[in-house]
Chain A
Amino acid sequence: MIEVENLTKFYGNFQALKGISFTVEKGEILGFLGPNGAGKTTTMRILTCYFPATAGRARVAGFDVFEDAIEVRKRIGYLPENVPLYRDMTAEEYLRFVAGIKGVPSREITKRVERVMDDCGITHMRKKLIGELSKGYRQRVGLAQALVNDPEVLILDEPTIGLDPKQIIDIRRLIRDLAGRRTVILSTHILPEVSMTCQRVIIINDGRLVAMDTTKNLTARLQGNYRLIVKVEGPREAVIETLKKIKGIESVEPAGDGKNGGVTELVLNMDKRMDVRRDIPVAIVNNGWGLLEMKPIEMSLEDIFVKLVTKE
């Protein structure tokens, strides 16, 4: 549904996107994860034909975003980052305006607008000026305008930013309910958001794609303490050699600065299927060394994220 190939964007001399490629299948909800300034908004603005890329190609529903901008725009519902809406219009007026511009036939406008107001839970706010609505309701109006032409593709840029926790939960649920058979790209810099709403995740940092995986795989990595940190009082080389021999330990990485007066600090990567927590102290004590500490490293999505992002 969405194909992005080697997308590059310069703002003057500053390169915001350094060649990003990915595809999104029809009906998929893709999380677009990255810290502030990673290039999420820039990518989305190119996909929504707000501005062209400096180089590279992007196609939405088979149409090139540059060559066939109008065709692409007809098929997209876009919610920009700060939800810029006309404050001097009422929610209903605004939605009717957008429905018209998005090519909803005149006689269907009323029906469509009623429908999205109902879906987004803003029917009782229809006569209010958008400028008078709370942030949460404005977000809903923003979603409603994105959905009003029943688009195939939804592009949502940080849809929960600036909301309070309850509103965040509501909006996430709304997005999941409304996604339906649509293809959705949702950007965020909050990790749990991705695991809650998306099937697949792309992580970008500094204009580059650093990881692409299913949410399932990413969260699977969280489960179980498959990494241990150990502190051993003993000679570094010998300790590493000994531990490597234990079945079930896949690799041993030195940790800490190594200047800890005879104490060796190591991170052990382990096969999840084998529990070797008993074998480690035995091996160490048998060698006459002291086991000072042994604890599991809980890899959270945050850790994965930080690791991926700081790898370079």
Chain B
Amino acid sequence: MRNILLVFKKEVKSYFSSPVAYVVIAMFLIITGYLFYGLFAYFSTISFQAQIDPALARQARLLNITESVIRPLFGIISMIILIMTPLLTMRLFSEEKKTGTIELLLTYPITDLQVIVGKFFACMFVLLVMLVLSFIFPGLVIYFGEPEIGPIVSGYMGLILLGASFVSFGIFASSLTENQIIAATISFGVLFLFWMLGLSIPFVGPALGKFIDYISITHHLESFAKGVIDTEDIIYYTVFTLLFLFLTLRTLESHRWRG
């Protein structure tokens, strides 16, 4: 436990002593802010027009601030997290391999698992900072309107779980190579594929479609954003996260055996 905490602290310090974390967090907030502004502005225009156009006023969905601002906002945030996490995870093992520091780290009295878990939580910490800061946007909605609180809470829960699986996969990719760019490209590429899987559902058979729907990352976020906390979704993200942390462990071990 102490070892995990030490690795955690070291990695967090390292994130915040270089510009990486700040740049990633700033870009995340800028993009989210811009898209949020778009959603919010569109919503105000519609609501304003609804006052003079009774036909529009009957479309309850458009006029529900949870439906038309909060829910798409979670979609946007999850997409930007997908772009940003590979930038946070890419260095975690690649850099240690490239500079050789992994040799010392792995000859200290610490297990490979403790190293992985420490690094995982350090990256999750940066992600949490990002998510906490992103709360300004739903916060504004709460301030100006009356959205349902339930979906906001469950939506954030979903984002944390989703983030954990992104981080876990990113760490795995980082353990595969000593080249950070390759690590980032692999994690971005594969996560994006998982993301896009949902789009292919209409073109495949119903059985395969159901399967693809299940393994697709987005599918599981949707219910969270609707305010539904389903154990099936929690299990999906947890298994995804643990699976890739486990594969990272195996990668480190196999590197050892090969020398």
Contact = CB atoms under 8 A, between A and B. Distances in A.
A97 B10 contact: yes
Nearest to B114: A101
B259 A9 contact: yes
A84 B256 contact: no
Interface in B78-136: 99-104, 106-111
B197 to A, nearest CB: 37
B170 to A, nearest CB: 20
Given A45-B103, A87-B99, A73 B259 contact: no
B61 interface: no
A89 B10 contact: yes
Give the size category of B's interface with A: 20 to 34
> DSSP majority for the B interface?
helix
B117 to A, nearest CB: 14
A100 interface: yes
Given A50-B103, A51-B257, A51-B259, A73 B108 contact: yes
A70 interface: yes
B3 to A, nearest CB: 6
A101 B100 contact: no
A52 B101 contact: no
B101 A74 contact: no
Nearest to A142: B104
B99 A50 contact: no
B96 to A, nearest CB: 8
Given A9-B259, A84-B100, A50 B106 contact: yes
Interface in B1-56: 2-3, 6-7, 10, 13-14, 17-18
Interface stretch (A75-83, A224-232, A249-257): A75-83
Contacts of B256: 50-52
Given A52-B257, A86-B14, A101-B3, A80 B100 contact: yes
A168 B99 CA distance: 23
Given A52-B256, A78-B104, A86-B10, 9 more contacts: A12-B258, A45-B259, A49-B107, A51-B256, A73-B108, A84-B100, A89-B13, A100-B2, A145-B104
Interface of B: 2-3, 6-7, 10, 13-14, 17-18, 99-104, 106-111, 256-259
13 contacts: A11-B258, A11-B259, A45-B259, A70-B109, A78-B107, A84-B101, A84-B102, A85-B104, A86-B101, A98-B108, A101-B108, A102-B108, A103-B109
